[in-house]
């Protein structure tokens, strides 16, 4: 029973990982690719590790530590990547309508001038 | 068009080369005589639980010293090439500061990354990993620091001293092997200790700590060089 539960969790996790890969291929611009590549792969990795923890309860603490590090590092690195892409003016898809980072930077620049 | 054709041609040629390797590869069912010797006598002779480490650090220790030297020369060359350009772009343009998220995460993660790197090279004789891997992890911690604080002051003299001292001690341990044990880089200059415990395998942990410090300092200094000579804001 526990084995079945663990396997199902791992399977669900790998579905998310698959969708992350698909998103990287299919999304229109860098920012969207970063977004799918981060959100879906973070959840997918966490689910796979959780499933492994159910399958091997003896490893549970180590796997929880791994989940903690994935949660800490994956979003931060994607955030830094996206900001770097924005800083060197990597183009957005035409369908993008809101760019809050650009807005806030423009505001800072005009406020700095006044 | 021509470019695409060349790329396609290259890919096909690569596929031909690798398919030949793949199709005709027959895994040998028995170890080679040398591998067999290492596997049979390594643990008893050198006392390292990780057989790979005893091969890298002791049986093939001279090769490893060569690899460390290669890395040292590359780091020195990077310093030489990028150090000159620095004089031209002395007054770098101000860069955009890193975001608060990156700065906070770096504060939280940096000690953990360093700790993990040190763990990896101290346990090199027991678990997978070792001096080179631990050193690379430490350098990735330096990278994180540079990402979070592009203007962080990294003491070049400290890096230089760490690197020189660890390299010198590595060779010194090797020479001690000639005097006290069977040959250059022989790890049996001290007791082998309890098999599988932290203080075991003679000089292997000492050598791996030295390699880890050296590799970490070298890669860190390469990263630092790239930072200080970068063109700043695009």
Phi and psi at residue A71, to the nearest 5°: -65, -35
- Average confidence score pLDDT of chain B: 81
Residue A2 vs residue B14, higher pLDDT: B14
Other beta carbons within 10 angstroms of residue A27's beta carbon come to: 16
User: How many Å apart are CA B125 and CA B193, to the nearest integer?
Assistant: 12
Q: Is A80's CB within 8 Å of B147's CB? A: yes
Task: Using alpha carbons, select from B211, B200, B138 the residue that is nearest to residue B173.
Answer: B211
Taking an 8 Å cut-off on Cβ atoms, the answer to whether A80 and B109 are in contact is: no
**How many domains is chain B built from?**
1
Assigned domain for B92 exists: no
Contacts B96 to A, Cβ<8 Å? 87
Q: Does residue B30 lie within any of the structural domains?
A: no
Q: Give residues with Cβ within 8 angstroms of B46, minimum separation 6.
A: B54, B58, B187, B188, B192, B201, B202, B204
Residue among B97, B99, B113, B115 with most chain A CBs within 10 A, to mutate: B99
Predicted pLDDT of residue B85: 56
Q: Is residue B56 part of a domain?
A: yes
Over residues B204-232, the pLDDT tens digits come to: 888 888 888 888 888 888 888 877 554 44
Burial class (CB in 10 A: 0-12, 13-18, 19+), A72: middle
Identify the pLDDT of residue B232: 45
Identify which of B198, B138, B135, B211 has the alpha carbon closest to the alpha carbon of residue B171: B211
A60 is in which domain, residue-wise?
A: 2-113
Distance from CA of B158 to the nearest CA of A (A): 29
What's the pLDDT score for residue B234? 37
What is the pLDDT confidence band of residue B94, given thresholds at 50, 70 and 90?
A: low
**Is A79's Cβ below 8 Å from some Cβ in B?**
yes
User: Is A83's Cβ below 8 Å from some Cβ in B?
Assistant: yes
Q: How many helices and strands in chain B, by DSSP H and E?
A: 8, 0
Percent pLDDT > 70 in chain B is 91
CB atoms within 10 A of CB A74: 18
Which residue, chain included where needed, has tokens 């596929």? B15
Element spanning B171, H or E: helix B156-180
The tokens for B92 are 């770098």
Q: How confident is the model at residue B11 (pLDDT cuts 50, 70, 90)?
A: very high
Q: What is the pLDDT of residues B13-44, one digit of tens each?
A: 999 999 988 888 888 788 888 888 888 887 77
Could you tell me which of B171, B159, B164, B130 has the C-alpha nearest to residue B219?
B159
Q: For chain A, what's the residue count?
A: 114
Residue B83 lies in a domain: no
Q: Check CB contact under 8 Å for B98 and A80.
A: yes
Looking at residue A113, what is its pLDDT?
62
Nearest CA in chain B to A80: B102
Q: Which residues, at least 6 apart from B214, have a Cβ–Cβ distance to it below 8 Å?
A: B68, B72, B131, B135, B162, B163, B166, B167, B170
| Among B98, B108, B234, beta carbon nearest to A72 | B108
Q: How far apart are CA B140 and CA B135, in angstroms?
A: 9
Distance from C-alpha of B162 to C-alpha of B170, rounded to nearest angstrom:
12
C-alpha–C-alpha distance, residues B205 and B182, integer Å? 18
CA angle at B46 for the pair B43 and B49, rounded to the nearest 5°: 45
Q: Work out the minimum CA distance from B73 to partner chain A, whole angstroms.
A: 31
Residue B138 has pLDDT above 80, yes or no: yes
Task: Chain A: give the shortest CA distance to residue B203, in Å.
Answer: 30
Other C-beta atoms within 10 Å of B138: how many? 25
Domain of residue B123, residue span: 48-78+99-228
In a domain, B188, yes or no: yes
Which DSSP letter does residue B196 get?
Answer: T
Kindly state the average pLDDT of the residues A63-70: 90
Number of domains in chain A: 1
pLDDT of residue B86: 54
For chain B, say whether A72 makes contact (Cβ under 8 Å).
yes
Angle between helices A60-87 and B100-122 (to 10 degrees): 130
Identify whether B38 is part of a domain. Answer: no
Residues of A in contact with B98 (CB under 8 A): 80
In angstroms, the CA B90 to CA A85 distance is 26
Contact A83 B147 (CB under 8 A): no
Mean residue pLDDT across chain A = 86
Name the residue with higher pLDDT: B159 or A95: B159
Q: A51: closest CA among A13, A15, A12, A6? A: A6
d(CA B146, CA B142): 6
């Amino acid at each position: 029973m526990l084995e079945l539960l663990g396997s199902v969790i791992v399977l669900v996790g790998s579905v998310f990982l698959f969708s992350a890969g698909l998103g990287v291929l299919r999304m229109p611009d860098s920012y969207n690719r970063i977004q799918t590549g981060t959100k879906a792969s973070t959840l997918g990795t966490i689910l796979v590790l959780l499933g492994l923890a159910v399958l091997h309860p003896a490893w549970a603490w180590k796997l929880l530590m791994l989940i903690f590090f994935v949660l800490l590092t994956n979003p931060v690195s994607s955030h830094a990547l996206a900001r770097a892409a924005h800083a060197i003016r990597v183009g957005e898809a035409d369908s993008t309508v809101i760019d809050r980072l650009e807005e806030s930077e423009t505001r800072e620049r005009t406020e700095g001038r006044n | 068009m021509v470019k695409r054709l060349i790329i396609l041609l290259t890919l096909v040629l690569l596929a031909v080369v690798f398919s030949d390797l793949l199709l005709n590869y027959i895994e040998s069912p028995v170890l080679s005589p040398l591998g067999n010797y290492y596997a049979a006598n390594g643990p008893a002779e050198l006392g390292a639980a990780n057989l790979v480490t005893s091969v890298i650090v002791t049986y093939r220790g001279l090769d490893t010293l060569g690899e460390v030297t290669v890395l040292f020369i590359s780091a020195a060359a990077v310093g030489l090439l990028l150090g000159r350009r620095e004089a031209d772009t002395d007054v770098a343009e101000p860069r955009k500061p890193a975001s608060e998220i990156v700065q906070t995460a770096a504060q939280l993660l940096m000690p953990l990354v360093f700790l993990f790197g040190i763990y990896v090279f101290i346990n090199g004789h027991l678990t997978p990993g070792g001096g080179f891997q631990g050193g690379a992890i430490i350098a990735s911690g330096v990278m994180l620091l540079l990402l979070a604080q592009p203007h962080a002051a990294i003491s070049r003299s400290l890096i230089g001293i760490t690197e020189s001292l660890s390299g010198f001690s590595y060779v010194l341990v090797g020479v001690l092997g000639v005097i006290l044990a069977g040959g250059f880089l022989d790890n049996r200059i001290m007791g082998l200790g309890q098999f599988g415990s932290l203080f075991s395998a003679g000089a292997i942990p000492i050598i791996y700590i030295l390699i880890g410090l050296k590799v970490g300092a070298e890669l860190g200094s390469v990263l630092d060089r790239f930072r200080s000579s970068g063109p700043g804001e695009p």
